Structure 1
Amino acid sequence: MILTLASAFIITIVYINKDKPEKREKLYEINATHGGLTQMIASYLVRPILESALDRYIEKHGLAEYLEEITQQKEEEMINFYEITEGSGSKVFCGQEVLLQMYKVSNNLATLLPTDVNLKIGQDYLKEVSLGVIGMKEGGERVVTIAADDNKMSFNSYYIKLIEVKDKYPDSVNNLMIFNDLINKTGKRVKCGDEISVQYSIKRHNGEYIIKDQIVQFKVGDKKIPLAIELGVVGMRAGNKRTVLSPPDLLTGILIKEIDFDEENISIIDLSLNSTIEK
């Protein structure tokens, strides 16, 4: 009798909610495809028990932060690429102007964009496409895919060939060494073109401070601050800290032009991202 009443109650609840979308607030998902009445009843009976056990396990082993990080990384995967040819010329970094040959592929149709496409990495015009060019080398070819909506249900694809990097950075940019102190692993990452506020200190190679605890606000890629700081913040998350070892020629610029830097040894830059990223 009790089992009959319980079954009737569950069937009633299932019927009422069968066309309603499930409200999900979990960091995981239990696959519960309803193949029939028995499966539906089992789902409503068993799922809360499984979720309770999983929640206790996650809390006990401190996995919540890890799951949140994985979820955040999935949300950020709006731009992906597939390397066709690596290339052998200069490498593309944030803020540079590049000359590209591009085809846009949409609905199985390829459209040749203007033969010579000039883009500045991180600017509003085709910004997502330009972000997909970062890391390419002259002569290289790449397919870049960009989510066309927030749900990532449709994508635009571009075939890109990098013809030329017009405003080349010093070769020493390849010698920047970046070390992360990951305090916050789930915030949004800094991208080229973001407006941010950063606290920075600069020390000589022996640890002696040259500049200490200064704050600067800037748009990443505008090239109004030294390259060592501008390139050093890309990929940081709000609240995180970084240490950058910089060659001397990457610390020149308007921001610190009057400082007497060591022209023979590296400098040590401590960075802390203060503000939420503005778009």
Structure 2
Amino acid sequence: MPGENPETSPLKYKRVLLKLSGEALMGPGQFGIDIPTVEQFAKAIAGARTAGAEICLVIGGGNIFRGMAGAAKGMERAQADSMGMLATVMNALAMQSVLESQGVPTRVQSAINMDQICEPYIRRRAQRHMEKGRVVIFAAGIGNPFFTTDTGAALRCIEMNCDALLKGTQVDGVYTADPKLDSSATRYEKVAYQELLAKDLRVMDSSAVSLMRDNNIPIVVFSLKEEGSLLNVLHGRGTSTTISNEGGVAK
């Protein structure tokens, strides 16, 4: 509204799950965890928390080990996926360390019990952490092979009664084609779940999209590379694509 302070205006999404790919943590590198990049993400998360948002996270493990890539090289898929789940725990612990260095209280909950380094996943305990202002990082997917961290993020988003699933990517939304390969690609302002699946736009895997559709929770795709983008999404402004049961057109 005119005259409204954007930093104190009501949040459009109060409780959210933020999904980050493991590759996002690499920064300019080709492997592993780039601490300055993690610090940048942590600063954005801290700002969102200060604005009043309740936040939980799911981080992929592709910067360390990707289960499907291991399987493609001859490893047993279930074993390779288990290694990928362990990679997500490493990323979660790294993010926890950086967040807490910035004064943000954080808990890591793993779907695979690792009591000496993090909590086991307990839904109501996680909800209580969020109510107390703690950032909860869910690790190890859902604890089973053959499921991606996208599906894990959708499941945890639903279990935490989140208002939206925010997917931070390298681009500022969902496009009609890969904008890096097709200069004529245009961005969707809004797109329906069914259209996303029918056109195989590959924002998240189909299981995750179906879960979100069936529970009528929007997915917001935005670029974390842009300063202030997370706060913008929480306030319902800025550049992004909203995936919901309401369709739209490409811009």
Structure 1 length as normaliser, TM-score? Answer: 0.23
Which structure has the highest helix share of the two? 2
Q: Which structure ranks higher in relative contact order (CA pairs < 8 Å, sequence separation ≥ 6)?
A: 2
Structure 2 length as normaliser, TM-score? Answer: 0.25
Larger radius of gyration: 1
